[in-house]
Amino acid sequence: MTLSQTQRDGTASERIADGLRQSILGGEYPPGSRIIQDDLSARYGGSRIPVREALHQLETEGLVRMVANTGAWVASLTMAECSEVYQTRERIEPLLLRFSAEHLTKETLEQLDDLANRMEQSAEVEEFLELDRQFHFATYRGSTTHTLGPLVARLWNATQPYRRAYTTLVGSRNRRIFHDEHHMLVTALYDGDLELAEQVLALHIRRTRLHLERHPELFDPTPTQ
């Protein structure tokens, strides 16, 4: 994944951070789960030192919440916080797309088309989520950004559990507009119509946010629990 936040080498803390991040994003640890440092050091081998560094890392990424002398939990968001992240995405992802669009290769455009089609066939939640992520990150593949790419990845990660919960909840109903927007985005990129592509993307994120906001039951009721 080009937008990966850690292109660093193989220190133990990075390995653990990567592994734990994948576990959280994969839904293995749901929001609010307690994280015990000893458990992680046992699971990944090694002492608690790199585990703590990994937890600090994930905390600044917004995936983990740590309280001193008390412990660490998988971060959970209130609806207002999740909505805030989506509104932020709505403003910056079109910018990232702008940086990327003119450098997209023919191959990537074809992959985008393929991904959009495969998503329409996808019935299983995890596959759907993964294809969606791959699709959007592929549209950003042309960017050589220093800050913006990793930032967008962070915002995606922080809201991943709620996309999962929402997708699971609504099943495959009402996804028509969702897929239409993806195809519109691909077409706009093919045509080189950057202005349109930015607008489609902004509306795509916005509509998803509005749908999420119809389901307050998915979110943590209390802030910073």
Q: Which residues bind DNA (CB under 7 A)?
A: 11-13, 35-38, 45-50, 52-53, 66, 68-72
The residue (of 49 and 169) whose beta carbon lies closer to DNA is 49
Outline where DSSP puts E strands in 75-193.
Answer: none
Backbone angles phi, psi at 94, to 5 degrees: -60, -35
60 interface partner picked from a copy of itself, DNA, none, CB below 5 to 8 A per type: a copy of itself
Outline where DSSP puts E strands in the chain.
Answer: 34-35, 64-67, 71-74
The residue (of 77 and 119) whose beta carbon lies closer to a copy of itself is 77
The footprint of a copy of itself on residues 24-83 (CB under 8 A) is: 49, 52-53, 56-57, 60-62, 66-69, 77-78, 80-81
Token couple for 113: 């088309």
71 interface partner picked from a copy of itself, DNA, none, CB below 5 to 8 A per type: DNA
Token couple for 164: 């999962």
155 interface partner picked from DNA, a copy of itself, none, CB below 5 to 8 A per type: a copy of itself
Backbone angles phi, psi at 173, to 5 degrees: -75, 155
Question: How many Cβ atoms are within 10 Å of 195's Cβ, its own excluded?
Answer: 10
188 touches a copy of itself (CB under 8 A) = no
For the bound state, the minimum distance from the C-beta of residue 187 to a copy of itself, rounded and expressed in Å, comes to: 24
For the bound state, the minimum distance from the C-beta of residue 161 to DNA, rounded and expressed in Å, comes to: 21
Sheet holding 64-67, edge to edge: 34-35, 71-74, 64-67
For the bound state, the minimum distance from the C-beta of residue 61 to a copy of itself, rounded and expressed in Å, comes to: 7
Under DSSP, the state recorded for 48 is H
Token couple for 101: 């669009």
The residue (of 53 and 114) whose beta carbon lies closer to DNA is 53
Token couple for 165: 């919960």
The C-alpha atoms of residue 23 and residue 118 are separated, in whole angstroms, by 25
The footprint of a copy of itself on residues 8-27 (CB under 8 A) is: 8-11, 13-14
- Cα-Cα-Cα-Cα dihedral sign, residues 140, 116, 181, 25: negative
Interaction site with a copy of itself (CB under 8 A): 8-11, 13-14, 49, 52-53, 56-57, 60-62, 66-69, 77-78, 80-81, 84-85, 87-88, 91-92, 95, 99, 145-148, 151, 155, 158, 223
